[in-house]
């Protein structure tokens, strides 16, 4: 819902300010239209149906995985494609993977989104409408900004959406914002009162290799990115999650695990190893044995390490696979 349009329309209709709060409460609780809002006059519900679209997005297609993951392809009013994902876990979590941009301008070599044509930043309402789409399907309680785009480039709108997520059931401590190392955004997030989590998309401890995989490293060198993350920890006292996609023969040797452990302070960082999910790139995923050896070396050196549970791979909904196709 375009909340700014809603407020201006209510003002034009001469409605009291509390009407916006009523409408938002219904929307955040999963209502799928104005007709359900029984504490609003019928004439107002009719007027809003004509003047304020209930969502800024149009649902184009939906795919459902055998593991319960749901991916939705949405389009904006100007035809920009967006994908968002709902992941259901056995421990009861219902976690959303949200997009902050249509496409991505940063062209990481292993990521399908980076191969898309970049469209534009999403508005706060467009980000929020992804979450609202899944809220209408049921309970949601976690969110990660790991979908399409670099959230730190669009941080003002991402934060505006985050301020509303608790109304849907997603607390700030259960919301993580991922970045490739966009230092101005990390610095801004460190000063943000909301206790949001930070995730760093790292993928190589060697700067030269990281630059091959992630061209942004030329703009924001690895040493400066790590320093910014350490400053985030100092300001927030919240550990930084390091995302590390495991690429066979590229970044998965035990020696590279040692280099990663040397780079990261175990008091400030946790490593989340991500099995590579197939895209149109030339990479292949590391073997289970290589992943286990990598994790064991990190743990031996005192660095906490986990392997991400892959969700939605059969519908191209897993990490790195979002490319506006279902």
Beginning with the edge strand found earlier in the chain, give each strand of the sheet holding 70-75 in spatial order: 58-64, 70-75, 81-88, 94-97, 142-145, 175-179, 197-201, 240-246, 269-275, 305-307
Query: Would residue 211 show up in a list of annotated catalytic residues for this protein?
Result: no
Catalytic site includes residue 108: no
d(CA 197, CA 195) in angstroms, rounded, equals: 7
Catalytic residue chosen out of the listed positions 15, 83, 126, 243: 83
Which is the catalytic residue, given 97, 108, 162, 319?
A: 319
Question: Residue 134: which of 109, 186, 170 has the closest Cα?
Answer: 170
223 CB neighbour count, 10 Å cutoff: 10
The DSSP code sequence of 75-136 is: E-TT--EEEEEEEE-TTS-EEEE--SBSS-SS--TT-TGGGSPP--BPPHHHHHHHHHHHHT
Identify the CA nearest to 164 among candidates 177, 154, 175, 150: 175
Torsion of CA 33, 34, 35, 40, to 10 degrees: 150
Measured CA to CA, the distance from residue 293 to residue 207 in angstroms comes to 22
Cα Rg of the chain (Å, integer): 21
> Which active-site residues does the annotation give?
83, 319
């Amino acid at each position: 819902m375009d909340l700014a349009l809603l407020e201006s329309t209510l003002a034009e209709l001469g409605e009291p300010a509390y009407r916006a709060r009523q409408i938002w409460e219904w929307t955040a609780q999963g209502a799928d239209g104005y007709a359900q809002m029984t504490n609003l006059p019928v004439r107002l519900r009719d007027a809003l149906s004509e003047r304020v679209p209930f969502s800024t997005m149009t649902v184009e297609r939906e795919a459902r995985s055998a593991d319960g993951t749901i991916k939705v392809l949405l389009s904006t009013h100007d035809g920009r494609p967006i994908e968002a994902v709902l992941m259901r876990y056995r421990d009861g979590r219902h976690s959303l993977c949200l997009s902050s941009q249509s496409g991505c301008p940063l062209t990481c070599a292993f990521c399908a989104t980076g191969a898309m044509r970049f469209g534009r930043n999403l508005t706060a309402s467009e980000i929020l409408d992804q979450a609202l789409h899944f809220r209408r399907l049921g309970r949601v309680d976690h969110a990660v900004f790991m979908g399409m785009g670099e959230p730190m480039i669009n941080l003002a709108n991402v934060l505006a959406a985050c301020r509303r997520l608790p109304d849907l059931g997603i607390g700030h401590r259960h919301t993580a914002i991922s970045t490739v190392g966009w230092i101005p955004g990390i610095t801004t997030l460190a000063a943000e009162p909301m206790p949001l989590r930070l995730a760093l998309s790292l993928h190589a401890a060697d700067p030269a290799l990281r630059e091959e995989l992630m061209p942004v490293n030329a703009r924001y060198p690895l040493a400066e990115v790590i320093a910014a993350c350490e400053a985030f920890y100092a300001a927030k006292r919240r550990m930084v999650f390091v995302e590390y996609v495991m690429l066979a023969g590229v970044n998965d040797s035990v020696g590279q695990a040692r280099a990663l452990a040397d780079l990261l302070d175990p008091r400030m960082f946790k490593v989340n190893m991500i099995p590579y999910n197939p895209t149109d790139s030339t990479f292949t995923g590391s073997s289970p044995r290589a992943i286990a050896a990598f994790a064991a070396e990190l743990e031996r050196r005192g660095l906490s390490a986990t392997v991400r549970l892959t969700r939605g791979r059969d519908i191209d909904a897993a990490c790195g696979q979002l490319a506006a196709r279902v």
